[in-house]
């Protein structure tokens, strides 16, 4: 291992240690809480900690906060700073003094926190600054008062801050003074789009110094005549665009060829550069141009090409000459020559204070360019590939050349900082000197662009490998002029070159309207959203029970059953996502009901939340005992939708339910159900289960195949589905509108039955197939139910089209039953009885499974039911006609009684987040807009308000006090029989007749479930 590698290894190990320890201390101090065990207080619990760094970090943080308070947060900051100092060993102060400054700075901050940090009344006085801050702050406040102590600590803290961080206030002050001028140039200068982001504004004296240094460097270099001719300063007069491009072409040609033409032929044992043709050389030159224009966009070269500024031309030529000379590693200026140049430049520097005030911080860029041109200079921005040597031997710099390079770099640094009166800093370090000594020779003569190497802005070396005698300068310039500025076929894509807000155009190039753009975008989208919108399955999913754990749990179950005088043997164990089922073979004479009666005692003895007993397992002579897993598995919807069962095209309305106890997907077809009832208490996962069913339909069926009517009394659960194209009407939140929607569904059901009877078919699927065949054969099937009064604009009956299935989803239909009473129940019952063949299906959910909500008529016509966790066995029997739902675990754990099944199946529902629902709904909104039917929300019993007055005028049965009663009702806005009795001293029968007549005339509404009437006028 070389010396350089050894130093690198030591510094790297120290950096890793300091950074790791700093992160550990940062976590320990930031997550500190006094409730963790520690030195400064008594705690009975010494193992449970909330500190992110563990028990050790909690004790360390408690010790630091006890002595230093919040000032201990500075310790990880100092550790990170020391990790940086490892790579900068020669800092402002040596290490012991810097450590001392950091230590005293922590004490100063601790004292200031004690003096000025207001701690709560129930905490200790030293909570802010710790014990040390308390003692120092109290002593100083007694000697100097609190204001004097604060002033002393602030001054002392600034001094310590300067020493600890090596702050150079003179350099900082110069930078701050230059900030207003920089901001003024940045925001108020009118810069054209082709110019750079900001201008390098330098004083004439500084620019003259840069040109002077470049001229001296060029004079001392022994370059060839052709190279000197290629980089001569051009005229300061404004030139045309062609002349300037010629000059740039000559510089590029000189940069690519001149150095190689001046080199001697390589010896036989040296690898020879590969021969490149003319096109390749031209391509390399253009690549050099593009890279320079992109990476040196803020420099002086390309600004001079775009603006006729003669002052920039001198700086360009000076920088180019300095860059060209930097590649001549065998011609290094001597120390005396640089000292003479520096003394000449210093004589031309501004002497007045006014001139120095105008210097801008951007002046350093010119000196950086010159400094990068000095050979072997450590301050150059990049370390490039070594150049081809004259003798093609391994370059071993002598100690004299290294000393000259060190002195040259130091002198240039002094020149760069002298106008600002900055403190001289040592540039080189021992480690950097070792890097200079180990210069590796190249394997083949590869040269880098001189300007790209000398520029402080260029970060990527641009290499060309050519053969000089193959090129012609005139042909090169002529070809470059023809292709300069033209786009390349393989040019890199730059987003800044394109206007993404420009309107789309059609084939003829004309801009399209907004509607056409939206339509085109929708045509480009796939018909259905992809499953990639759903959250993925956790790849780090762990197994709940191993074989050994299942064996031990089976033995434990047999032992506990024997304690209750039940002899049984575990035959099989089926681990699932939520529960594990143990199948037991009971001894002869043992009843299954005996095991059911001791289920709660068995759960208590096994230290489990609940145990469910399955008395009958279809197809097996065993009973089942389901125990909850120690860690529940989260079932994702994408697991269920990627199964072949879901993709089966024969299923009319596929819905994903979840996974059974064996982990197998459970899906059902709502068309075969044909309706579903979902019940569960708060927190059981009812809304999530409904969302998973709706999303499984949205991800498979288009609006032409399936339409939805969503009823949401809570106004929150189904609000995310607004404006999707599947909706027949906006999400219904008013229960009066819900009754109207149910009434429309009843009328639609009757209309569909008329159509199917006309075509002599019995199912909606057969109807759609027959209509599609007629359309394909060109036949016209006229709607037989159409009447001329149905439309004011249509004179002919419309053609029949395929009808979509309709799913009515009511998230909380118990609230609807409570508000509108028997009307909703009657319509739900009618739909449940007759709508299966018409393709209208109900999905009803409630969290109050009582008999007044789930009536006998509803239960009799909705055989498919889902029971999540409920509060009592009575509620479980209301849903399933059997117990067991009260022992479920909640959060999606359900008993699913599928279509045609006798016993319910235990299923764990899929989890759906709000983000998944929003992503899928947004995807459908991008594909189309909803086509609402206005008649759905029209009240089915609505009659014109004026009809009653017209028919009632002059009637022989009209009461004499009718007009007075109407005036009283309209004035008080109260319509009741008792109020009319009290006001007009009427009997009950007469007052009731007047109220009924008002209802017939459309003045008041019918009596609601709460016994009140609404005033309609």
pLDDT tens figures, 775-806? 998 888 888 888 776 666 677 888 899 999 99
Measured from the Cβ of residue 671, the count of other Cβ atoms closer than 10 Å reads 20
Tokens linked to 668: 């059902």
Residue 311 is predicted with a pLDDT of 47
Residue 700 is predicted with a pLDDT of 93
Phi, psi of 489 (to 5 degrees): -65, -35
E strand or H helix that includes residue 575: strand 568-575
d(CA 27, CA 76): 9
Bridge partners (DSSP) of residue 94 are none
Residue 467 is predicted with a pLDDT of 43
**DSSP label at 254?**
I
Measured from the Cβ of residue 443, the count of other Cβ atoms closer than 10 Å reads 8
Helices (H), 168-277: 169-188, 204-220, 225-230, 241-253, 259-261
Segment 376-418, tens digit of pLDDT? 433 333 433 333 333 344 444 444 444 444 444 444 444 444 4
pLDDT at 709 over 90: yes
- Measured in whole angstroms, the distance separating CA 230 from the mean position of its chain's CA atoms is 54
Beta strands per DSSP E along 587-731: 612-614, 623-628, 654-660, 665-669, 676-679, 706-711
Tokens linked to 734: 């008013």
Residue 902 is predicted with a pLDDT of 84
Measured from the Cβ of residue 761, the count of other Cβ atoms closer than 10 Å reads 17
- Are the beta carbons of 890 and 910 closer than 8 angstroms? no
Residue 667 is predicted with a pLDDT of 93
Q: Dihedral of CA 127/131/132/134: which sign?
A: positive
d(CA 508, CA 155): 75
Give percent of the chain above pLDDT 90: 17
The answer to whether 685 is annotated as binding is yes
Strands ordered across the beta sheet of 568-575: 568-575, 579-586, 623-628, 612-614
Confidence grade of residue 340 (pLDDT, cut at 50, 70, 90): low
Minimum mean pLDDT range among 726-735, 766-775, 984-993? 984-993
- Are the beta carbons of 931 and 705 closer than 8 angstroms? no
Residue 616 is predicted with a pLDDT of 86
Complete domains list, the chain, with CATH: 3-172 (no CATH), 204-264+275-483 (no CATH), 547-628 (3.30.980.40), 654-758+807-928 (3.40.50.300), 947-1000 (1.10.10.10)
Q: Dihedral of CA 593/595/596/601: which sign?
A: positive
Assign 363 to helix, strand or coil.
helix
Measured from the Cβ of residue 397, the count of other Cβ atoms closer than 10 Å reads 18
Give percent of the chain above pLDDT 70: 60
Task: Indicate the burial class of 705 (C-beta count within 10 angstroms; 0-12, 13-18, 19 or more).
Answer: middle
Bridge partners (DSSP) of residue 718 are none
d(CA 994, CA 986): 10
The answer to whether 909 is annotated as binding is no
Range of 275-289, 323-337, 558-572 with top mean pLDDT: 558-572
The answer to whether 243 is annotated as binding is no
Confidence grade of residue 235 (pLDDT, cut at 50, 70, 90): very low
Tokens linked to 1006: 């019918």
Segment 485-541, tens digit of pLDDT? 444 444 444 444 444 455 555 555 556 555 666 666 667 788 899 898 998 888 777
E strand or H helix that includes residue 816: helix 813-820
Task: Indicate the burial class of 119 (C-beta count within 10 angstroms; 0-12, 13-18, 19 or more).
Answer: middle
Pick from 386, 397, 383: which is nearest to 446 by CA? 386
Residue 695 is predicted with a pLDDT of 94
Residue 518 is predicted with a pLDDT of 65
Residue 337 is predicted with a pLDDT of 52
pLDDT at 211 over 60: no
Length of the chain counted residue by residue? 1017
Better-scored residue on pLDDT, 905 or 499 = 905
Better-scored residue on pLDDT, 94 or 381 = 94
Contacts of 982 (CB under 8 A, 6+ apart): none
pLDDT at 920 over 90: yes
Segment 15-28, tens digit of pLDDT? 888 888 888 888 88
Segment 44-78, tens digit of pLDDT? 555 577 778 777 778 788 778 877 887 888 888 88
Task: Indicate the burial class of 396 (C-beta count within 10 angstroms; 0-12, 13-18, 19 or more).
Answer: exposed
- Are the beta carbons of 910 and 658 closer than 8 angstroms? yes
Tokens linked to 411: 């002198």
Query: Alpha-carbon Rg of the chain, whole angstroms?
Result: 44
pLDDT at 365 over 50: no
Tokens linked to 992: 């009731």
The answer to whether 823 is annotated as binding is no
Contacts of 817 (CB under 8 A, 6+ apart): 824, 825, 852, 853
- Are the beta carbons of 570 and 625 closer than 8 angstroms? no
Q: What angle do CA 981, 982, 983 make, to 5 degrees?
A: 95
Average pLDDT over residues 582-609: 89
Mean pLDDT of the chain: 71
The answer to whether 681 is annotated as binding is yes
Tracing tokens 């929150």 back to the chain, one arrives at: 716
Contacts of 979 (CB under 8 A, 6+ apart): 968, 972
Q: What is the DSSP string of 421-484?
A: TPPP-----HHHHHHHH-PPPPSS--EE-HHHHH-SS--S--EE---GGG--HHHHHHHHHHHT
pLDDT at 240 over 50: no
Minimum mean pLDDT range among 270-279, 545-554, 581-590, 603-612? 270-279
State how far the alpha carbon of 73 is from the alpha carbons of 31, 49, 359, in Å.
Answer: 11, 20, 40
pLDDT at 772 over 80: yes
The answer to whether 687 is annotated as binding is yes
Better-scored residue on pLDDT, 355 or 708 = 708
pLDDT at 996 over 70: yes
Measured from the Cβ of residue 48, the count of other Cβ atoms closer than 10 Å reads 10
Assign 37 to helix, strand or coil.
coil
State how far the alpha carbon of 601 is from the alpha carbons of 212, 596, 609, 610, 618, in Å.
Answer: 99, 10, 11, 10, 26
pLDDT at 329 over 60: no
Q: What is the DSSP string of 354-399?
A: HHHHT--GGGHHHHHHHHHTSTT-TTSS--PPPPPPSS-S-----H
Better-scored residue on pLDDT, 394 or 879 = 879
d(CA 614, CA 595): 10
Residue 388 is predicted with a pLDDT of 38
């Amino acid at each position: 291992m070389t010396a350089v590698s050894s130093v690198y290894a030591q510094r790297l190990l120290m950096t890793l240690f300091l950074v790791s320890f700093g992160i550990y201390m940062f976590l320990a101090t930031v997550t500190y809480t006094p409730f963790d065990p520690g030195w400064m207080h008594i705690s009975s619990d010494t193992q449970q900690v909330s500190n992110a760094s563990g028990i050790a970090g909690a004790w360390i943080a408690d010790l630091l906060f006890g002595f230093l308070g919040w000032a201990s947060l500075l310790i990880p900051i100092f550790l990170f700073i020391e990790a940086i100092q490892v790579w900068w060993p020669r800092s402002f102060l040596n290490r012991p003094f810097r450590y001392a400054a950091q230590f005293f700075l922590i004490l100063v901050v601790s004292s200031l926190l004690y003096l000025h940090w207001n701690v709560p009344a129930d905490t200790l006085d030293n909570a802010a600054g710790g014990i040390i801050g308390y003692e120092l702050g109290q002593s100083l406040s007694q000697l100097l008062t609190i204001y004097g102590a604060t002033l002393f600590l602030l001054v002392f803290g600034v001094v310590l801050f300067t020493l600890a961080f090596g702050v150079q206030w003179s350099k900082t002050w110069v930078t701050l003074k230059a900030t207003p001028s920089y901001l003024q140039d940045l925001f108020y200068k009118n810069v054209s789009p082709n110019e750079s982001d900001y201008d390098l504004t330098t004083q004439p004296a500084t620019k003259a110094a840069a040109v002077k240094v470049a001229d001296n460097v060029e004079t001392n270099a022994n370059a060839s005549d052709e190279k000197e001719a290629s980089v001569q300063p051009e005229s300061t007069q404004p030139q045309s665009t062609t002349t300037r491009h010629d000059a740039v072409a000559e510089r590029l040609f000189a940069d690519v060829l001149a150095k190689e033409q001046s080199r001697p032929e390589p010896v036989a044992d040296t690898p020879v550069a590969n021969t490149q043709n003319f096109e390749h050389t031209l391509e390399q030159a253009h690549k050099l141009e593009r890279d320079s224009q992109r990476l040196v966009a803020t420099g002086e070269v390309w600004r001079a090409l775009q603006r006729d500024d003669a002052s920039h031309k001198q700086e360009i030529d000076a920088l180019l000459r300095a860059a060209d000379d930097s590649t001549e590693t065998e011609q290094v200026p001597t120390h005396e020559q640089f000292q003479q140049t520096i003394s000449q430049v210093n004589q031309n520097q501004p002497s007045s204070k006014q001139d120095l005030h105008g210097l801008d911080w951007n002046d350093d860029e010119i000196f950086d360019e010159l400094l990068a041109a000095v050979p072997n200079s450590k301050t150059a921005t990049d370390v490039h590939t070594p150049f081809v040597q004259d003798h093609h031997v391994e370059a071993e710099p002598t100690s004299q050349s290294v000393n000259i390079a060190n002195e040259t770099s130091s002198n240039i640094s002094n020149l760069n900082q002298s106008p600002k009166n900055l403190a001289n800093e040592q540039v080189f370090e021992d480690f950097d000197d070792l890097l200079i000594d180990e210069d590796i020779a190249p394997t083949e003569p590869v040269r880098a662009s001189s300007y790209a190497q000398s520029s402080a802005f260029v970060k990527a070396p641009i290499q060309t490998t050519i053969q000089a005698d193959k090129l012609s300068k005139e042909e090169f310039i002529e070809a470059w002029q023809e292709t300069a500025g033209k786009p390349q076929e393989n040019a890199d894509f730059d987003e800044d070159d394109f206007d993404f807000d420009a309107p789309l155009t059609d084939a003829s190039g004309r801009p399209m309207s907004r509607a056409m753009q939206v339509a085109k975008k929708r045509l480009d989208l796939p018909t259905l959203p992809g499953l990639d919108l759903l959250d993925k399955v956790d790849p780090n999913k762990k197994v709940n029970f191993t074989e050994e754990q299942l064996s031990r749990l089976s033995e434990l179950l047999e032992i506990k059953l024997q304690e209750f005088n039940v002899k049984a043997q575990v035959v099989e164990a089926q681990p699932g996502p939520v529960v594990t089922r143990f199948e037991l073979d009971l001894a002869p004479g043992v009843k299954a009901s005996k095991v059911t009666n001791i289920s709660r005692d068995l759960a208590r003895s096994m230290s489990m939340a609940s145990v469910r007993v399955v008395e009958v397992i279809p197809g097996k002579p065993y009973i089942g005992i389901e125990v909850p897993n120690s860690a529940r598995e989260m079932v994702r919807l994408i697991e269920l939708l990627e199964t072949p069962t879901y993709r089966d095209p024969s299923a009319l309305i596929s819905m994903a339910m979840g996974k059974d106890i064996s982990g197998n997907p459970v899906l059902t077809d709502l068309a075969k159900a044909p309706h579903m009832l979902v019940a569960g208490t708060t927190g059981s996962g009812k809304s999530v289960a409904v969302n998973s069913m709706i999303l499984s339909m949205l991800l498979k069926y288009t609006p032409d195949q399936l339409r939805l009517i969503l009823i949401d009394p809570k106004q929150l659960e189904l609000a995310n589905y607004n404006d999707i194209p599947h909706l027949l009407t906006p999400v219904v939140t008013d229960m009066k509108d819900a009754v109207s929607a149910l009434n429309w569904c009843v009328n639609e059901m009757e209309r569909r039955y008329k159509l199917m009877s006309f075509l002599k078919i019995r199912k909606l699927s057969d109807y759609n197939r027959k209509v599609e065949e007629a359309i394909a054969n060109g036949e016209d099937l006229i709607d037989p139910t159409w009447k001329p009064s149905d439309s004011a604009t249509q004179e002919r009956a419309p053609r029949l089209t395929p009808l979509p299935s309709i799913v009515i989803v009511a998230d909380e239909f118990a609230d609807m039953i409570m508000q509108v009473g028997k009307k909703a129940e009657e319509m739900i019952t009618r739909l449940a009885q007759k709508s299966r063949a018409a393709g209208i299906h109900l999905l009803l959910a409630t969290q109050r499974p009582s008999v007044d909500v789930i009536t006998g008529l509803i239960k009799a016509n909705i055989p498919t039911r889902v029971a999540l966790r409920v509060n009592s066995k009575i509620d479980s029997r209301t849903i399933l006609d059997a117990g067991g739902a009260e022992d479920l675990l909640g959060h999606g754990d359900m008993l699913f009684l599928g279509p045609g099944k006798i016993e319910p199946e235990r299923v764990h529902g899929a989890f759906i987040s709000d983000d998944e629902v929003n992503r899928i709904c947004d995807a459908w909104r991008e594909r189309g807009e909803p086509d609402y039917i206005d008649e759905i929300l029209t009240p089915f019993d609505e009659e014109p308000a004026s009809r009653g007055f017209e028919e009632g005028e002059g009637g022989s049965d009209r009461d004499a006090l009718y007009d007075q009663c109407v005036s009283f009702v309209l004035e008080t806005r109260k319509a009741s029989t008792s109020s009319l009795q009290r006001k007009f001293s009427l009997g009950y029968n007469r007052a009731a007749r007047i109220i009924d007549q008002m209802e017939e005339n459309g003045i008041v509404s019918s009596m609601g479930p709460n016994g009140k009437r609404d005033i309609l006028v």
